[in-house]
Amino acid sequence: DTEVTQTPKHLVMGMTNKKSLKCEQHMGHRAMYWYKQKAKKPPELMFVYSYEKLSINESVPSRFSPECPNSSLLNLHLHALQPEDSALYLCASRPGGANTGELFFGEGSRLTVL
Amino acid sequence: RKEVEQDPGPFNVPEGATVAFNCTYSNSASQSFFWYRQDCRKEPKLLMSVYSSGNEDGRFTAQLNRASQYISLLIRDSKLSDSATYLCVVNQVNAGNNRKLIWGLGTSLAVNP
């Protein structure tokens, strides 16, 4: 079982809705990530937080807004999304000192935008 | 040329077979390498980090060839439960000394009874 917990597992929203995805880990990891994955494609990096500060934004549209309230929590706020934003949104964390590629993923939130 | 390339497969093999996947990378400054496994509609899970000297974990062996810029994954005595997509991941360093994980498209493996 994964130690990175994501909620909700499934989300259906309209283009005018505002919703949030949540991610939680209690492993003491200080780097947390949001990835987006479409079917039959690899994960695509969106944001990286390091020690609760946003360190990487991969030119993600502003309709996606990340937030890191504390070292255990990571949110992704969604507003005015498009149908093409439908995807699996994966949260990941990495232990401090671990190799950059050694990520622990949550099970993901499967988002459908109508 | 893609930064990280994998044969998408699918590789269909019988139980007990040995199967090998290769992954090539284009940036010679790449520093570290990983294999992830992803089951259908599940999250990716780290299978192995790949070290310069090669490393083995049970039935799985990973090798790195820096001169030819490829990594490989060998699975011996395949089990039905090995059926998954295997993703090659490369930690690349760019001109600004920034590190970025580059993911391959994955190789699909189906182990048949």
Q: Which residue in chain B has the smallest CA separation from A99?
A: B32
Q: Average pLDDT for residues A15-28, to the nearest whole number? A: 94
Q: Which residue in chain A has the smallest CA separation from B105?
A: A42
Contact between B38 and B84 under an 8 Å Cβ cutoff? The reply is yes
Which among B43, B46, B86, B100 is the top mutation candidate for probing chain A, defined by the most A β-carbons within 10 Å of its own β-carbon? B43
Q: In this model, does residue A1 exceed pLDDT 60? A: no
Determine if the peptide bond prior to A69 is cis (ω within 30°).
Answer: no
A86 touches chain B (CB under 8 A): no
A55 touches chain B (CB under 8 A): no
Contact between A45 and A57 under an 8 Å Cβ cutoff? The reply is no
Rounded to whole angstroms, the Cα distance separating B34 from B29 reads 15
| Amino acid (1-letter code) at residue B82 | D
**pLDDT in the model for residue A101:** 86
Rounded to whole angstroms, the Cα distance separating A60 from A62 reads 6
Rounded to whole angstroms, the Cα distance separating A54 from B97 reads 18
Task: Please give, rounded to a whole number of angstroms, the shortest distance from the CA of B78 to a CA of chain A.
Answer: 23
Contact between A37 and A87 under an 8 Å Cβ cutoff? The reply is yes
Tens-binned pLDDT, residue by residue, of chain B (113 aa): 789 999 999 999 999 999 999 999 998 888 899 999 999 999 999 999 998 888 999 999 999 999 999 999 999 999 999 999 999 999 987 777 677 899 999 999 999 99
Task: Please give, rounded to a whole number of angstroms, the shortest distance from the CA of B34 to a CA of chain A.
Answer: 7
N-to-C CA span, chain B: 37
For residue range A64-85, list pLDDT tens digits in order.
Answer: 999 999 999 999 999 999 999 9
**pLDDT in the model for residue A2:** 65
